Amino acid sequence: MSDISSLGDLTGKRVLVRSDLNVPLDGTTITDDGRIRASVPTIQQLSDAGAKVVVTAHLGRPDGSPDPKYSLRPVAARLAELLGKPVAFATDTVGADATETVAALQDGEIAVLENVRFNDGETSKDDAVRAAFADQLAQLADAFVSDGFGVVHRKQASVYDVALRLPSAMGGLVAAEVDVLRRLTEHPERPYVVVLGGSKVSDKLGVIDNLIDKADKLLIGGGMVFTFLKAQGHEVGKSLLEADQLDTCTRYLTEAADRGVEILLPTDVVVDTAFPSGDREPQPSVVPASEIPADALGLDIGPESAAAFAAALADARTVFWNGPMGVFEVAAFADGTRAVAQALTEVSGLSVVGGGDSAAAVRQLGFDEAAFGHISTGGGASLEFLEGKELPGIAVLERD
């Protein structure tokens, strides 16, 4: 795959950059700017090279038409703060304001186009509709840099089709993500431990299928663990349960045993009689994983399990973690996730936080991001890569 150097001298050239700026907002206030910060190095590199940098990105799911609550204006303002220089903002993506804004850029200057998903051509399943929109995007630039790893698993106009129309290269963020994920799937240093959490087993089927013969240990927490516990014959009360995945969990337990892969499940859990809500104080209690009361639901792994998970990670040389161990947003149910995150900071080899809620948990719980080997910006893309799927936004850059 070509990197930015393959594009030659960029002085005065218009470079369209597909970034991932899909950050959470509370009104117009950004509550987690991690993805913006991750996008800065490539944008800065292009600016320093004298390019006229045109940033395109999405925010939320506006269904192909403008929606003020999904405007990228506050994101552009935060990007300017992080870069320490002005960032122009176009109020449309391929319309008159975008054209005028790009035309006004001087060498090294930067503009952000309005939310690319305000245009129905971005996510259209109709190749012709998507191609027509990509044509409009391509007219704004002389070259294209793909740097939004969180969207490379999508065959969308600003990710895939525009790369077919312009000299294209991979940005530093995408290159780093691909390099790390290949290290997880191609001859990982051992012991190799995979930690999976989050709410549903069904979200992780492909990852487990692809890694069960690569990992030495699988540590299972979060809401998905209760389907595994039920498959072992335990009652799980009101805990999250995917009854249609019981046979799958049984198969995984059997396969792991046959392959000599250790699957570690919690031996204790933190439960409450209701899911956390704003009008009720949490009432947590710790119970054995095999004795969850009928009126309770599991909301975190317990202290005994947290210690066991940390111990299982102590000698690891490669770790991939995707999915929190509990409802980490609530302090009463955050200790399991905190314990796993702390253990990852102490791994002497490669520790990878697989994006999404895991990355959010790391930041919310106050960890120094530099303490981890790598924090992915793309939860879904990371999972699909680890499932062995082809990612359209990567494949298009690897074509002959």
pLDDT tens, residue order, the chain (400 aa): 689 999 999 999 999 999 999 999 999 999 989 899 999 999 999 999 999 999 999 999 998 999 999 999 999 999 999 999 999 999 999 999 999 999 999 999 999 999 999 999 999 999 999 999 999 999 999 999 999 999 999 999 999 999 999 999 999 999 999 999 999 989 899 999 999 999 888 988 888 998 998 999 999 999 999 999 999 999 999 999 999 999 999 999 999 999 999 999 999 999 999 999 888 899 999 999 999 999 999 999 999 999 999 999 999 999 999 999 999 999 999 999 999 999 999 999 999 998 778 988 999 999 999 999 999 888 788 888 988 899 999 999 987 5
Q: Are 14 and 51 in contact (CB under 8 A)?
A: yes
Report how far residue 325's alpha carbon sits from residue 323's, in angstroms, rounded to the nearest whole number. 7
User: Parallel, antiparallel, or unpaired: how do β-strands 297-301 and 268-272 relate?
Assistant: antiparallel
Active site (annotated) includes residue 14: no
Report how far residue 56's alpha carbon sits from residue 142's, in angstroms, rounded to the nearest whole number. 14
The domain defined by 188-387 folds into Rossmann fold (3.40.50)
Select which of 37, 73, 165, 200 is catalytic. Answer: 200
Domain ranges in the chain are 4-175, 188-387
Q: Are 70 and 115 in contact (CB under 8 A)?
A: yes
Report how far residue 368's alpha carbon sits from residue 290's, in angstroms, rounded to the nearest whole number. 35
What pTM value is reported for the model? Answer: 0.88
Active site (annotated) includes residue 217: no
Select which of 50, 95, 373, 380 is catalytic. Answer: 380
Q: Are 196 and 202 in contact (CB under 8 A)?
A: no
User: Parallel, antiparallel, or unpaired: how do β-strands 268-272 and 285-288 relate?
Assistant: antiparallel
Cβ burial 91-125 (10 Å sphere, 16+ → b, else e):
bbbbeeebeebbeebeebbbbbbbbbbbbebbbbe
Active site (annotated) includes residue 237: no
CA dihedral 178, 368, 22, 173 (to 10 degrees): -30
Select which of 14, 18, 35, 183 is catalytic. Answer: 35
Q: Are 392 and 155 in contact (CB under 8 A)?
A: yes
Active site (annotated) includes residue 399: no
The domain defined by 4-175 folds into Rossmann fold (3.40.50)
Query: Which residues fall in the annotated binding site?
Result: 20-22, 35, 58-61, 117, 154, 204, 298, 329, 355-358
Query: Which residues fall in the annotated binding site for ATP?
Result: 204, 298, 329, 355-358
